[in-house]
Amino acid sequence: MLRVSIRIDMNSDLGEGFGAWSMGDDKGVLSSVSSANVACGYHAGDPSIMRETVKLCASKGVAVGVHVSYPDLMGFGRRNMTCSPQEVYDYCLYQIGALNAFCCTQGVELQHVKPHGALYNQAARDKKLADAIAAAARDSGDGLILLGLAGSEFEPAAKAAGVKFAAEAFADRAYLNDGSLMPRSREGAVIHDADLATRRVVQMVTKGTVTAEDGSQIQFRPDSICLHGDTKEAVDMAEAVRRALEEAGVEIRPLRETM
């Protein structure tokens, strides 16, 4: 009897220190994920940290992506800015190129581009910004995958640019019955119970559904699950999710192998 294995990617933000400052437990979360979103100097990540992070990813067999951001170190890239699509394109290309240099010297192939923070949130709703990011991914000429919010402007933008799109889901977030994220301002938007989060991810990946906040079961089949590494609890949740997926027979593999 044929058994087709299910595969899924797990991604996390990495290399988010800067100079003398560190953030999160990169080594901890790297044991669980298959893809890393590496900061490139605009919200975090200086050149030395970028080199070390790429090296760390390579040593763990974790695929490397570019975590492109607005230029806002003081705000960690979390504040909306009214940059023009041209500026966003330019900033993306700059950051992609910079990280690519560290990848090339270490024999690592860049896998994806994922917008960070405010750029992620703004571009998910703004066609022009999403188009600018997709165009930067396309023009970098390395077959980069655009990783972004499921059901957002990223998907049509990637399609229009001829770039592969990977939809990500969040292990620790509640969803509305149209497949969109429940806003953080609402009670219950963030799931703190690791067991519940884990069960939800297993359901998404193995059944292709998620239980929306109104109790309905909706179709939902992400290409990647986003996890965090900034706290002990987050690293534990990432480990729990990976273990549960593997126990359910799911293989955790980077996007380039699953798409």
Residues that bind a second copy (CB under 8 A): 17-23, 41, 44, 46-48, 50-51, 71-76, 78-83, 86-87, 90-91, 93-102, 104-105, 118, 139-141
Give residue for tokens 């949740």. 237
The 8-class DSSP code of residue 25 comes to -
- Residue 144 or 147: the one with the smaller Cβ distance to a second copy is 144
- For the bound state, the minimum distance from the C-beta of residue 43 to a second copy, rounded and expressed in Å, comes to 9
- Residue 28 or 75: the one with the smaller Cβ distance to a second copy is 75
Q: Can you give the length of the chain in residues?
A: 259
- For the bound state, the minimum distance from the C-beta of residue 233 to a second copy, rounded and expressed in Å, comes to 17
- Residue 66 or 150: the one with the smaller Cβ distance to a second copy is 66
- Residue 33 or 96: the one with the smaller Cβ distance to a second copy is 96
Q: What distance in Å separates the CA atoms of residue 196 and residue 114, rounded to the nearest whole number?
A: 26
Looking at residue 205, its amino acid is: V
- Residue 24 or 222: the one with the smaller Cβ distance to a second copy is 24
Element (H or E) spanning 136, and its range?
helix 127-139
- Residue 46 or 126: the one with the smaller Cβ distance to a second copy is 46
- For the bound state, the minimum distance from the C-beta of residue 87 to a second copy, rounded and expressed in Å, comes to 6
Question: Which positions ≥6 away from 59 have C-beta within 8 Å?
Answer: none
The 8-class DSSP code of residue 139 comes to H
Looking at residue 233, its amino acid is: E
Angle at CA 240, nearest 5°, toward 186 and 15? Answer: 80
139-160 CB burial, b ≥16 within 10 A, e <16:
ebeeebbbbbbbebbbbebbee
